């Protein structure tokens, strides 16, 4: 670093210039990556929600209590 605060390259002695980190190419590439990954992310979330819908319910949440059910309830005579 020089006396005036400018950083100097250690190998060649040129002053180092700071560039803007956000430029058009980077913004465009992030948009393109988002466009290609969005359907995949939506598909994964839809699969998880669909899979949760068909999981078996615990016995206490079933609609019919099998302890009180008799054969006469099942057969119409």
pLDDT tens-digit map of 5-50 = 788 888 888 888 877 777 889 899 999 999 999 999 999 999 888 7
Q: Could you tell me the pTM of the whole model?
A: 0.43
Task: Give the span between the Cα atoms of 73 and 1, in whole angstroms.
Answer: 92
Contact 40, 48 (CB under 8 A): no
CA distance 59 to 66: 10
Six-digit token pair at 77? Answer: 């005579």
pLDDT of residue 55: 66
β-sheet bridge partners, residue 8:
15
């Amino acid at each position: 670093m020089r006396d005036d605060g400018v950083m100097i390259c250690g190998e060649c002695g040129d002053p180092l210039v700071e560039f803007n980190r956000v430029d058009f190419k980077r913004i465009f590439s992030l948009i393109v990556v988002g466009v290609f990954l969005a359907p995949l992310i939506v598909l994964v979330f839809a699969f998880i929600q669909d899979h949760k819908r068909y999981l078996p319910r615990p016995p206490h949440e079933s609609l019919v209590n099998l302890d009180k059910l008799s054969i006469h309830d099942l057969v119409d005579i």
